[in-house]
Amino acid sequence: MEVYLESRVQNQPRNYTDALMDKIEATTDATSVFHSSQNTWVPFFIDVLLAAIETTSSTQEWSILFLSQFPEVQKRLQAEISEVIGNVKCPVGSDRDRMPYFQAVLEEVFRLAPPLPFGFHKCTEDTKLMGVDIKKNSLIVFNFFGNHIDPDKWEDPDIFKPERFLDGDQNFVKPELFTFGYGRRSCIGEHVARSQLFIFLTSILQSFNIYPEKKLDNLRGNLTIGYRCVECKVIFEPRDKVKSD
């Protein structure tokens, strides 16, 4: 922390933390959420640690688990990566648009393993929704996960099948999922998360094959406020090694 602070130059932010420190130092209005008396760092840590890091790392873990358990999906994805990006060049965000299978795989991970399975909102006034009276201050819980595995909506809802999001010409068809919430308060970090996950997964698959430590019968996770996989033990084998063997 000391090293970090020594290298900081006021009003020349290098990142979000510097920008927030500049804002707190510049705020004189004691009622502002940015005033130094207002515990501004608490919501900052909730946003960064829970909203951004926990969700993205959960998806990374689930993706690795699914890829290890479904080698045919992994192989097809590696073939798409080889064709579109190659195995030497670093992936860049614009490659994603030319990778329908990658997009289908990620959506299928999001469908079966939404990092935030429920959404919570408070009703700000008495209202009526689809004929139901809802009182002001009621807590409304959205069951995102339940929707993702609703048998009335999805064929074989428990099966991991990225192909469900490809049309007959193998184009990606974006599904209606609630992984990032819905409406005006949906996730503001969706774009960052999708880009980060793309770079993370394609870079790993360029260099490694992923094998499961053991085949799992049940790919359900721990359902709490978040949704984490119970066990994610995998083996990474460098692809260079495979080629040179």
The contact set with ligand HEM (CB under 6 A) reads 47, 51-52, 55-56, 59, 115-116, 119, 121, 179-182, 185-189, 192-193
Q: Which CB atom, from 14 or from 121, has the smaller least distance to ligand HEM?
A: 121
CB of 226 to ligand HEM, least distance (A): 10
* Least spacing, CB of residue 217 vs ligand HEM, in Å: 26
Least separation, in Å, of the C-beta of 46 and ligand HEM?
Answer: 9
| Least distance CB 42 / ligand HEM (angstroms) | 14
Of 22 and 54, CB closest to ligand HEM: 54
Burial of 44 (C-beta count, 10 Å sphere; 0-12/13-18/19+): middle
How many CB atoms sit inside 10 A of residue 62's CB? 22
Q: 67 or 116: whose CB is closer to ligand HEM?
A: 116
What is the smallest separation between the CB atom of 187 and ligand HEM, expressed in angstroms? 3
- Nearer to ligand HEM by Cβ, of 197 and 205: the residue is 197
For ligand HEM, the closer CB: 20 or 239? 20
Residue at shortest CB range from ligand HEM: 189
**Nearest distance from residue 212's CB to ligand HEM, in Å?**
22
In degrees, rounded to 5, the angle at the alpha carbon of residue 12 between the alpha carbons of residues 10 and 13 is 100
* Smaller CB separation from ligand HEM, 14 or 214: 14
